[in-house]
Amino acid sequence: MRARGVSKTYRLGEVEVHALRGIDLELEDGEFVVILGASGSGKSTLLNILGGLDTPTHGEVRYRDHLLSGADDRALTRYRREHVGFVFQFFNLLPSLTALENVELVTEIAQNALSPREVLERVGLGDRLRHFPSQLSGGEQQRVAIARALAKRPDVLFCDEPTGSLDYPTGKRVLEVLEQANRELGTLVVVITHNAAIAQMASRVVRLSSGSIAEVRLNPHRASSEAISW
Amino acid sequence: MVSRLHRALIRDLWHLRGQVIATALVVTVGIGAFVTMVSTYQSLARARTDYYATYRFADIFASLKRAPDSLTASLRLIPGVAAVQTRVVEDVTLSVPGLAEPATGRLISLPGAVAGAERVNRLHLTAGRYPSPRSDEEIVASQTFARANALSLGSRIGAVLNGRWKVLRIVGLALSPEYVYEVGPGMVVPDNKRFGVLWMNAEGLATAFSMKGAFNDVSLSLARGASSNDVIDALDRLLAPYGGFRAYGRADQPSNRFLTDELGEIEVNATYIPAIFLAVAVFLVYTLLARFIAIQRSQIALLKAFGYSDRRIGLHYLEFALLIVGLGMLAGLALGGYFGAALIGVYQRYFHFPILRYRLSPSLFGFALAIALGAALGGSLTAVWRAVRLPPAEAMRPEPPRSFRAGVLDRVGLMRRLDTVTKAILRNIARRPWRATLSILGISAAVATVVVGRFMFDAVNALMAVHFNAAEREDITVTFNEALSRGAVTSLGELPGVLRVEPFRAMPALLRAGHREKRVSVLALPPSGTLRQLIDARGRRIDVPPKGLVLTRKLAHLLAVDAGDHLTVEQLDGRRREFTATVVRLSDEPIGMNGYMDADALAGLLGEDAPISGAVLQVDTRREPELFASLKRTPAVAAVSIRSATLETIRDIMNRSFILMTIVMTAFGIVLVAGVVYNSVRIALSERGNELASLRVLGFTRVEVGQLLLGEQVLLTLVAIPAGCALGALLCRLLVPAFDRELFRLPFTLTGATFGFASLVTLGSAAAAGCIVAERIARLDLIAVLKARE
């Protein structure tokens, strides 16, 4: 995945906001990338553009043969459908479907999907398949959401503050699942977070500041999710 | 601060304008239908009361063979009688310029040459003048008849008066309270081209019909508090020696009877149609407000934290409901006023009043306001109560996640076979069964409305098919002005183009069974006849039995007799014999109400030589013009009725009035479906927006997300359509008794085309409403769902 000279400008009422200013970034398959930055640094905007939810004002974004910059809704939907998984800060599961069914909902539209049951077992929810979201804890719901994202075997998994609404032990459990997916499925994982501790797990850390890349740091000694704490 | 809250209210209404409009529209239709019907009813009823009072519409009516004018004094002395008007009334064949076929004219004598000389049933002269005192050719014509035939002052009409050809000249046009609805004898619908009332000088008319110093018709008005039945009895006693037919009151006076039936029908429509719409409006207000309050939980908490009282907060949301309903009500009043005036315009074509002004009474405004207020309160109280009861701390937290549990469908294993989207849809329905039920009821009501709107078409078509294909199959009916011998059949057969002649005798008779009695015609038919037939409920021919009486089912019902019972038949013409007859069976012709007997059997009972009073003819249509020309000048012919003209008139009326009804009811149905579906989908979108957006993020296409959003309504609509067809059929079934009249009976018939039409209209408007909301899927904020819950 390659971003070249990506800028994003919003109009907020009378004011022009430069959320991103000339970002150049290349992400390789199998990486675990953590994007750090303060509020308003542009990290969410970058994630949205890389994830095909938004298009840049200037610059070019490519994923394999997909040109994302300037693409229309149909093309972006196809990109997300075929290649991308998302994990949200809030889980947004369908309350009317069980854990298993929430995952099945996604595998039904995917080609080459994993077995929903297996993915849920992998995230440690093998015994909660028939529970509805309202019967699951926050951490369990987040893991269903991750399973839902992983089940279609995405090439890229984007996570926006995946531990943001979880308590410490649950947050750690979720990170373990992300790590496992990166390791076992070779998924490119991109996490944006305030939480600098998570950066220890990354193979690469990107720090954003005022819409520009302030620092890119390779991390040759990745810590396991068990080893980190915050 | 209060004004702040109000400003927030306006902003919220604007923000939710789609749902506000949809809900308000349903209220508009409900109030609109109510105002239309009630104002039309009031306007017609008022016009009738005024007309009858101003022009002294009589209370009692009687006709007789012939009585001397000297009897008038005795009539005046009947206790309870205020005014008496004796007249000569004769039906004659007319030759109207521009009309190929003969028309029937009812000649009525005028007691004086100036307006107001009539003691009852005064004329309302709309043009010209009364005939001059000595003239025997000047007439006042019914304005309706003149207009239909493009006749004006000075126009001449040919008439056969007692066997003599006479040219009459129109010098005045008038309306009469006796003929608000101007139908000829035996007609179901007014045919103003072929039937008209003509008034002429008493002297001229009496001379022509050898009635000098005599009369054959009486109308009288009652003194205040007099008993109608006592006067009728006294009148009958006095007229009996003079060949008096039974006297009757206003209730049986044909024109008034029609008007009363029509008013009754409007009254029925004024209740159930608005009720359906207002019930749905209550439901829509409730769902809209409940969702709105759910979204505003945190705002409610904030207001409470600031110290707003429960009452103030409750009032705020109540105002929200009141504004929506108020908006709908105002539009409904306007719509009702518009449609009411339009409907009065339609009625003006059939009911002829000197003044028929459309009135919207102030009390109706009050009534509409009360109904709207009721709907607003009914829809909002529970939801508002819930908002008020919310403790501030709980209200601060976001709405708790909707909890689902495995339902019956899961337990029986049905769910396993379904795809995930269907499961989600079914569980959403099962979680809020009452909401789904109300949605189904709302949409069903709409389907039913459309079905009811087409019912009249189906029923009248079926009625015509049965009656004119099975019961009255003749091309032309000829009525003589007096009973003739059977030899007349031969003469009729010799007229040009006549292929077949079947004589009949229509004997005016009083049928009595116990204390019940009814004045009808006993029709004596030849057993071999095939043009005029008796039919059963399925339209199959019944043979005229050699002995005994067949009664129209409605007549049997009114007399409370059934096959096998006996009744007394009192002849009201000729020798006034009386005999007892057995009801052999009942017949089911949908138009008219008669007793039927074998012609020879009746002649035997009366000891007569089987005279005939008319004949039904089958004719060669190519020679009709010749035939009409000779019938116009045949002295013995009093009236000619032509089947094709009757059919044309009925079709014309159907096309003019029923189409309006169909269009209006269909439009109402569309509003109802669209209102229910639009609001349901908007609420679903509001509740599930985040879930749906997150699916979009995961690569679901707009169409796939649309299926999830709309699937529920599609399913509910598909359930509601057959339910609505059934409900519509039930409503029509309930309406049928309102059309079970002496003059005609509408069958309970609905065609597949009607159900298909209602289904298509419903599907179409549901799809349109759904698509308008689905358009918003494109605007779902995909980025926001990554961040926030609301």
Q: What is the mean pLDDT of residues B69-74?
A: 94
Whole-angstrom distance, CA of residue B644 vs CA of residue B748: 25
| Among the listed residues B531, B460, B525, the one whose alpha carbon sits nearest the alpha carbon of residue B499 | B531
Rounded to 5°, angle at Cα B445 from B440 and B451: 125
Q: Tell me: pLDDT of B596 over 70.
A: yes
Q: What's the whole-model pTM score?
A: 0.82
Predicted-assembly ipTM surpassing the 0.85 threshold? yes
Q: Tell me: pLDDT of B1 over 50.
A: no
SS3 B576: coil
Q: Which two tokens stand for residue B282?
A: 């209550």
Contact B789 A84 (CB under 8 A): no
Tally C-beta pairs within 8 A across A and B. 109
B286 burial via Cβ count (<10 Å: 0-12, 13-18, 19+): buried
Q: Which of B424, B693, B694 sits opposite A97 (nearest CB)?
A: B424
Q: Are B371 and B34 in contact (CB under 8 A)?
A: yes
Whole-angstrom distance, CA of residue B164 vs CA of residue A2: 110
HSE of B309 in the Cβ direction (CA atoms, 13 Å)? 4
Test the B interface: residue of A90, A129, A135 with most B CBs within 10 Å? A90
A128 touches chain B (CB under 8 A): no
Whole-angstrom distance, CA of residue B785 vs CA of residue B790: 8
Q: What is the mean pLDDT of residues B580-599?
A: 94
Whole-angstrom distance, CA of residue B663 vs CA of residue B652: 17
Torsion of the alpha carbons at B357, B362, B364 and B369, rounded to the nearest 10: 150
Residues of B in contact with A77 (CB under 8 A): 696, 699-702
Q: Tell me: pLDDT of B790 over 60.
A: no
Residues of B in contact with A54 (CB under 8 A): 783
Q: Which two tokens stand for residue A146?
A: 């991750």
Nearest Cα of chain B lies from the Cα of A126 at a distance, in angstroms, of 18
Q: Tell me: pLDDT of B756 over 90.
A: yes
SS3 A110: coil
In one letter, which amino acid is A24? Answer: D
Residues of A in contact with B788 (CB under 8 A): 90
Q: Tell me: pLDDT of B76 over 90.
A: yes
Q: Name residues of chain A where pLDDT drops below 50.
A: none
Residues of A in contact with B697 (CB under 8 A): 51, 53, 80, 86, 88
Nearest Cα of chain A lies from the Cα of B427 at a distance, in angstroms, of 6
Interfacial A residues in 170-209 facing B (CB < 8 Å) = none
Q: Are B141 and B196 in contact (CB under 8 A)?
A: yes
What percentage of chain B reaches a pLDDT higher than 70? 96
CATH of the domain spanning A28-57+81-218, picked from 3.40.50.300, 3.30.1540.20, 3.30.70.260, 3.30.1280.10: 3.40.50.300
What single string gives the DSSP state of each residue in B284-324? Answer: HHHHHHHHHHHHTHHHHHHHHHTT--HHHHHHHHHHHHHHH
Whole-angstrom distance, CA of residue B468 vs CA of residue B461: 10
Number of C-beta neighbours around residue B23 at 10 A: 31
pLDDT given at position B400: 61
Q: Tell me: pLDDT of B646 over 90.
A: no
Nearest Cα of chain B lies from the Cα of A97 at a distance, in angstroms, of 6
Q: CA A211, A215, A219, A222 torsion: positive or negative?
A: negative
| Among the listed residues A166, A145, A113, the one whose alpha carbon sits nearest the alpha carbon of residue B695 | A145
Q: Which residues are within 8 A (CB) of B233 and not within 5 positions of it... i.e. 6 or more apart?
A: none
Residues of B in contact with A135 (CB under 8 A): 403, 405
pLDDT given at position B687: 84
The band of B574, judged by pLDDT with boundaries at 50, 70 and 90, is confident
Q: Are B550 and B596 in contact (CB under 8 A)?
A: yes
Residue A76 to residues B301, B661, B692, B783: CA-CA distances in angstroms? 40, 51, 17, 14
Q: What is the mean pLDDT of residues B58-82?
A: 94
The band of B483, judged by pLDDT with boundaries at 50, 70 and 90, is confident
In one letter, which amino acid is B559? Answer: L
Tell me: the pLDDT tens digits for B688-744? 888 888 888 888 888 888 988 899 899 999 999 999 999 999 989 988 887 888 888
Tell me: the pLDDT tens digits for B259-283? 998 898 888 888 877 888 888 888 8
Mean pLDDT of chain B: 88
Contact B699 A109 (CB under 8 A): yes
Q: Tell me: pLDDT of B787 over 70.
A: no
pLDDT given at position B256: 94
Q: Which residue has the higher pLDDT, B426 or B565?
A: B565
pLDDT given at position B789: 44
Residues of A in contact with B693 (CB under 8 A): 92
**Any idea what DSSP says for residue B195?**
E
pLDDT given at position B752: 95
A94 touches chain B (CB under 8 A): yes
SS3 A53: coil
B699 touches chain A (CB under 8 A): yes
